[in-house]
Structure 1
């Protein structure tokens, strides 16, 4: 829901930095993997009981997630780059909740499992919608230039990052936030499936 507005703010500086990185020899895929490494470091720190300090690599990983596309636009966009980017994103999105569960399985286990199930459902509805949109030749650049169709929803990348930041700042409330955010993810996926039914049943 917030991605379109966030892109308008962050894309211009990211594009400038991306051009600089490309000139220095960085590749888009390399930046994607750097972002993944930072995200997994954040997950490790959360699992070890340092969620506040995990904010540093977590936010850095999301900056890298924005920069890989900027580097690609400054050099050459590839289908594999877009594929790698979305695969890495989903790994990151799963690693952070898993880290909270591993840190305190007794308290966070059930809520974490519910949250991960909601991510799985939401991610499937997102990728399935992208396949349908590609099949029917539908395009959108509402959330920036992407390698696949990005359908909007109640919860998108911006909301998920804000959610992870809140979890790191208030880890004791993980179960409450996880149940609530998971429910909204289920609602997002359900609404996306309903939208697909309205458009692609003919």
Structure 2
């Protein structure tokens, strides 16, 4: 929901930094891998009792997530790069709730599990729609040039990062925030299923 608005503000400085990195020979895939490693380190920091450190690492990881696409556009986008980008994103999205579940299993395990279920369902609806959109040659640039079709929704990347930041800033509120964001993600899942019925039915 917020991705389109935030991209207009975030993309210009990210593209300037990407140009510097690309000029020094840094490849998009290397930045993608670095983003995943930093994201997993964020989850580990959270699980070990340091959500503030996790917050810093989450933001660095997502900076890498923006840089890899910008570098790819300046050099040579590849199918492998698109594959690694979305696959590693989903690993990251699962790792952060898991970190909070490990931090306090008694309070956080159930809300983390509910959130992960909605992530799983929403991710499946997103990727399945992209496959069928490619089959039918349906395209969109609503979220900029992408390796495959990006269907929009109430809970997108920006909202996910905001939720993760709130987890780190207010770890005692993790259950409430997780249930609230799970509801948003479930709504997005339902909307994507309805979009698929409307488009492919």
TM-score by length of 2: 0.98
* C-alpha distance in structure 2 between counterparts of 1:152 and 1:88, whole Å: 19
Task: List aligned pairs for 1:1-202, cutoff 5 A.
Answer: 1-201=1-201
* C-alpha distance in structure 2 between counterparts of 1:57 and 1:128, whole Å: 30
Q: Per-residue CA shift, 1:63-119, capped at 9, x if unaligned? A: 000000011011000011000000000000000000000111111111111010010
Q: How far has the Cα of 1:12 moved from its partner?
A: 1.8
Instruction: Show structure 1 runs of 5+ residues with no match.
Output: none
Aligned length: 201
* C-alpha distance in structure 2 between counterparts of 1:142 and 1:4, whole Å: 8
* C-alpha distance in structure 2 between counterparts of 1:80 and 1:189, whole Å: 26
Q: How far has the Cα of 1:53 moved from its partner?
A: 1.9
* C-alpha distance in structure 2 between counterparts of 1:95 and 1:19, whole Å: 30
Instruction: Show structure 2 runs of 5+ residues with no match.
Output: none
Q: How far has the Cα of 1:170 moved from its partner?
A: 0.4
* C-alpha distance in structure 2 between counterparts of 1:7 and 1:83, whole Å: 21
TM-score by length of 1: 0.97
Q: Per-residue CA shift, 1:7-60, capped at 9, x if unaligned? A: 111122222211211110100000001111111111011000100121111100
* C-alpha distance in structure 1 between counterparts of 2:35 and 2:105, whole Å: 27
